[in-house]
Amino acid sequence: MSGSLVVVAKNSAEHKKWKYVQWAYLAGFVLLTPLVLEPFEIGKMNRALIMGVAILAVNLVVGFNGMLALGHSAFMGIGAFVTASMVQDENWDYWQVIPIVVIVGFLMGVIVGLPALRVKGLYLALVTIAQAAVFPTLVNIDELGIAKRTGGPNGKGVSEEVIAPSYLEWLPGVDGARGGSAYRFWIIVLMVGITLLLVTNYLRSRPGRAVLAIRDNEAGAAVYGVNLPIVKTMNFAISASIGSLAGLMWCLDKGFVAGQDFTFLLAVDLIIGLVLGGVGTLQGGLVGGLFVVWVNDLTKRISVPLGLYTLNGDGPLAKAIFGLILILFTFFAPGGIVSLGRLINNKLIHIVPLTPSGESIEPMSGFDPGMESTRADTAMKLSIAGPVLLGVGWLLMNVNNLVVGVLAFGLRMTILLAPVAMLVGINELKAHADGNRPDSVKGPASMARNLGALGFVFVIGYALQRFVQTYPIWDIPLI
Partner 1 sequence: MDLVLLLQRIFDALFNSAIYSSLALALVIIFRSTGLLNFAQGEMATFTAYIAFVFLSGPQPRLTGGGLAGLVPGVPFPIPLAIIGAVICGMAGGAVTERALIRPLGRAPDLALVNITIGILLATNSLMAQWWGTGPRMFPAVFPSGAGQNFTILGARLRYSTIGVWAVLLTVLVLLVLLLRHTRTGLAFRAVSISRSSAELVGVRVGPTLMYGWALASGFGALAACLSANSVLLEPNMMLRVLVYAFAAATLGGLDSPKGALVGGLIIGLSQTLIPAYVPFIGFELSVLPALIAMVAILLVRPEGLYGTKRIERV
Residues that bind partner 1 (CB under 8 A): 62, 68, 70, 115-116, 118-123, 125-127, 129-131, 133-134, 137-138, 140-143, 219, 264, 268, 271-272, 275, 279, 308-309, 311, 316-320, 322-327, 329-331, 334
- Which is closer to partner 1, CB of 248 or CB of 268? 268
- 89 — phi, psi (to 5°)? -85, -35
Q: How far is the CB of 317 from partner 1 (least distance, A)?
A: 7
Residues 179 and 176: their CA atoms lie apart, in Å, by: 5
Q: How far is the CB of 105 from partner 1 (least distance, A)?
A: 20
Q: How far is the CB of 375 from partner 1 (least distance, A)?
A: 38
Q: How far is the CB of 258 from partner 1 (least distance, A)?
A: 15
Burial class (CB in 10 A: 0-12, 13-18, 19+), 343: exposed
Kindly report the three-state secondary structure assignment for every residue of 299-331. Answer: HHHHHCCCCCCCECCECHHHHHHHHHHHHHHHH
Q: How far is the CB of 69 from partner 1 (least distance, A)?
A: 11
Q: How far is the CB of 72 from partner 1 (least distance, A)?
A: 14
- Which is closer to partner 1, CB of 291 or CB of 329? 329
Q: How far is the CB of 110 from partner 1 (least distance, A)?
A: 15
- Which is closer to partner 1, CB of 137 or CB of 260? 137
- Which is closer to partner 1, CB of 15 or CB of 319? 319
- Which is closer to partner 1, CB of 272 or CB of 418? 272
Kindly report the three-state secondary structure assignment for every residue of the chain. Answer: CCCCCEEEECCCHHHHHHHHHHHHHHHHHHHHHHHHCCHHHHHHHHHHHHHHHHHHHHHHHHHHHCCCCCCHHHHHHHHHHHHHHHHHHCCCCHHHHHHHHHHHHHHHHHHHHHHHCCCCHHHHHHHHHHHHHHHHHHCCCCHHHHHHHHCHHHCEECCCCCCCCHHHCCCCCCCHHHHHHHHHHHHHHHHHHHHHHHHHHHHHCHHHHHHHHHHHCHHHHHHCCCCHHHHHHHHHHHHHHHHHHHHHHHHHHHCEECHHHHCHHHHHHHHHHHHHHCCCCHHHHHHHHHHHHHHHHHHHHHHCCCCCCCECCECHHHHHHHHHHHHHHHHHCCCHHHHHHHHHHHHHEEEECECCCCCECCCCCCCCHHHHHHHHHHHHHHHHHHHHHHHHHHHHHHHCHHHHHHHHHHHHHHHHHHHHHHHHHHHHHHHHHCCCCCHHHHHHHHHHHHHHHHHHHHHHHHHHHHHHHHCCHHHCCCC
Residue 87 corresponds to which amino acid?
V
- Which is closer to partner 1, CB of 83 or CB of 131? 131
Q: How far is the CB of 82 from partner 1 (least distance, A)?
A: 21
- Which is closer to partner 1, CB of 228 or CB of 326? 326
Q: How far is the CB of 214 from partner 1 (least distance, A)?
A: 14
Question: Under 8 Å CB-to-CB from 391, ≥6 apart: which residues?
Answer: 410
Q: How far is the CB of 308 from partner 1 (least distance, A)?
A: 6
Within 10 A of 110 (CB to CB), how many other CB atoms are there? 15
- The b/e string for 366-387 (b: 16+ C-beta within 10 A; e otherwise) is beeeeebbebbbbbbebbbbbb
Q: How far is the CB of 47 from partner 1 (least distance, A)?
A: 19
Residues 150 and 14: their CA atoms lie apart, in Å, by: 55
Q: How far is the CB of 376 from partner 1 (least distance, A)?
A: 41
